Structure 1
Amino acid sequence: MNRINPVAGGGALPAGAWMVLSALAFSLMVVGVKQVGERLPLAEVVLARALVSLALSYAMVRRIGVDPWGQRRGLLVLRGLVGSAALFCVYAAVVHLPLAAATVLQYLYPTFTALLAWLLLGERLGRRVLAAMGLGWLGVLLVARPMASAPLPALWVLVAVAGALLTAVAYVSVRRLAESEHPAVIILYFPLVAVPLSLPAVLLDPVLPTPSELLWLVAVGVFTQLGQVGLTRALTQLPAARATAISYVQVGFAALWGWWIFGEPIDVPTAVGAGLILVATLISLGKPPGKAGSMPSARKPPVR
């Protein structure tokens, strides 16, 4: 089934530049979440992000002329539910943890994806993936510092890890959906499900945002969409492992914004833990010798 990627092609920038711009956009997205998340309910932040994304995604689907409802609607809805749950976890971690730590923990998703692809898709789980999982969890321990005098809150570390796991589940479902669905339809279903999922919680506990908070809420949605565009453009031109290595610059951006805007210090354990999780990520995304299709290919990019 031949499909045209809705955002690929026509870009004058090289793939690496698109990946860096994507990482910058996603890092600014989490800045917006942290700016408003301490006063506004989390469901309200998710709803605002979903409404902006829904409008932009629907306009994209209409522009390229594909059926917005797709073919495998049950799996599309399930992807939206899992993705929405992941978003709640990721946003909660961003609000309650330092930006750098929350971003590092989110990058556990490739090792989880490799494990789930083995369990659900029958893909090979070799020694390198097992080694990657060990390195990844060692990185988590260094970031969380459970034995230190000032460890990160265990609850929110677990929430961040849960967000990475749910992200992996969403990515595995995307791999299934990519066999029959247009990427723009997969992107559309995420906010299509997130809006009705978060709306009841917002109606039960509404908090009127200030004008500045309203701007940040809109910015969260816009930066998310810009990040997705840059990610998809880059992944149509780069192998997944190289693209993910470049995308790790998001950790650097998050550390910079955390230090500059929120006064969050950068310590050695977090930096070392980030390095270990980066190595685990690259190992997870590497293709085993003589085995095709180990992880998402450049032609079927993941959808955030």
Structure 2
Amino acid sequence: MTDHSPAAAPSSRLAALFLLLLLETGLIITWSAGFIGVRFASDHAPIFLILLWRSLVSGLLLLPLALTWGPGLRWRHVIPQMLYGALAMSGYLAGFALAIGFGVPTGLVALITDMLPLAVAVLSWPILGQALNGRQWLGSLIGFAGVLIASAHSLTLGTVPLWAYGLPVLGTLSLAVATLLQKRSPTIAMPVHQSLCIQCLSAAAIFSVFAGYEGSVLPVMNAGFIGGVLWLALVATLGSWTLYYMALRRSSPARVTSVVYLSPPVTMIWAWLMFGEPLSLSMAIGLFVSLAGVIIVARAQPKTGVQGHG
């Protein structure tokens, strides 16, 4: 018998909030794992070859599931997902990868790409007709300050073409636009495994062009490359993007993207655990400042923002 008592609604909201927190925790861990995978694989192959096989393996793993489980795929639903793949995956990943390739310091690239919540905030009004309130803006700025504190030690400006610094900005804006378009689009009802499959294969097609320009699209047959690609495909792609879209369906773009602020400090913890890289006091302080910003954004979220969509 269904409980229609007043206590049932708060209990349901609490369960939805708990699920969202679990999704966001997993998102932080798996999003950060991408940097670890690139570290493994980048010693064995060019960056676009890694991105090509990361996307292709992910898409092929999802393809049988996408074709057999869920509603039938129709072009009017597939084409928008191809666009999102070009924006959210190809644009974002290629933006920071190219910047690093041209010599932009990795720490600075991480800072720019983690301005995603601010990019979402700026673009929410023209795309969704929504604007962040004062507390959400404050939380976003505090989160960004935490990233500055945690990563400042790694920032050194080298001899790099000035325009190369705009590449991670374009990549971040690309992901922000894709995030907001998916929130607005009626095709958001497509199951995550289907949309992610289409987006991965679309990104792979685009990365194949760049990989071919770099030299070859054939995989490098050694343990370092294969292990790195599998890590990137299973954890950093299937794990993080699935959690990203699942969380997006249960909350607002502002809240979900705000947790990305925790990825640089968490990546530093990953590196400390896996490679013995030292942790500094500034990293620890930055981690807590970023967490404070995320909490402010989350607590400023309207009650209707946390809900389950099945």
Contact 2:142-2:289 at 8 Å conserved across structures:
yes
> Which residue of the partner structure matches residue 41 of structure 2?
36
Contact 2:147-2:261 at 8 Å conserved across structures:
no
Partner secondary structure for residue 50 of structure 1: helix
Larger Rg: 2
Which amino acid counterpart does residue 194 of structure 1 have in structure 2?
A
Question: Take 2:290 and 2:255, find their aligned partners in 1: how far apart are those partners?
Answer: 15
> Which residue of the partner structure matches residue 175 of structure 1?
183
Please state if 1:81 is matched with 2:86.
Answer: yes
Which amino acid counterpart does residue 111 of structure 1 have in structure 2?
L
Which amino acid counterpart does residue 35 of structure 1 have in structure 2?
F
The alignment covers a number of residue pairs equal to 279
Question: Take 2:46 and 2:204, find their aligned partners in 1: how far apart are those partners?
Answer: 15
> Which residue of the partner structure matches residue 190 of structure 1?
199
Question: Take 1:69 and 1:265, find their aligned partners in 2: how far apart are those partners?
Answer: 51
The CA deviation string for residues 133-173 of structure 1, in whole angstroms up to 9 with x for no partner, is 4334433443453xx7x634477986555544332222112
* TM-score normalised over the length of structure 2: 0.70
> Which residue of the partner structure matches residue 290 of structure 2?
277
Partner secondary structure for residue 76 of structure 2: coil
**Relative to structure 1, is the Cα distance of residues 173 and 43 closer, same or farther in structure 2, using a 3 angstrom cutoff?**
same
* TM-score normalised over the length of structure 1: 0.71
> Which residue of the partner structure matches residue 6 of structure 1?
none
Which is further off, 40-49 or 63-72? Answer: 63-72
Question: Take 1:132 and 1:231, find their aligned partners in 2: how far apart are those partners?
Answer: 20
> Which residue of the partner structure matches residue 10 of structure 1?
none
The CA deviation string for residues 74-132 of structure 1, in whole angstroms up to 9 with x for no partner, is 5433211111110223556789636xx87676543233222211232111333223323
**Relative to structure 1, is the Cα distance of residues 255 and 138 closer, same or farther in structure 2, using a 3 angstrom cutoff?**
closer
The 5-angstrom pairing of residues 112-131 of structure 1 reads 112-131=119-138
Please state if 1:110 is matched with 2:123.
Answer: no
Which amino acid counterpart does residue 193 of structure 1 have in structure 2?
S
Please state if 1:63 is matched with 2:63.
Answer: no
The 5-angstrom pairing of residues 82-161 of structure 1 reads 82-83=87-88, 84-90=90-96, 97=106, 106-145=113-152, 151-153=155-157
**Relative to structure 1, is the Cα distance of residues 240 and 162 closer, same or farther in structure 2, using a 3 angstrom cutoff?**
closer
Which amino acid counterpart does residue 203 of structure 1 have in structure 2?
G
Q: What is the aligned-residue identity percentage? A: 21
Partner secondary structure for residue 71 of structure 1: helix
Contact 1:109-1:164 at 8 Å conserved across structures:
yes
Deviation at 1:198, TM superposition (A): 0.8
**Where in structure 1 are there 5+ consecutive unaligned residues?**
1-13
Question: Take 1:234 and 1:264, find their aligned partners in 2: how far apart are those partners?
Answer: 31
| The structure with more helix, counted as a fraction of residues | 2
> Which residue of the partner structure matches residue 13 of structure 2?
none
Question: Take 2:79 and 2:246, find their aligned partners in 1: how far apart are those partners?
Answer: 28
Deviation at 1:62, TM superposition (A): 1.8
Deviation at 1:256, TM superposition (A): 2.6
The 5-angstrom pairing of residues 254-269 of structure 1 reads 254-269=267-282
Question: Take 1:208 and 1:161, find their aligned partners in 2: how far apart are those partners?
Answer: 29
> Which residue of the partner structure matches residue 232 of structure 2?
220
Pick one of 40, 44, 59 that aligns with 1:54: 59
Partner secondary structure for residue 288 of structure 2: helix
> Which residue of the partner structure matches residue 11 of structure 2?
none
RMSD over aligned CA atoms reads: 4.0
Question: Take 2:259 and 2:151, find their aligned partners in 1: how far apart are those partners?
Answer: 24
**Relative to structure 1, is the Cα distance of residues 138 and 271 closer, same or farther in structure 2, using a 3 angstrom cutoff?**
same
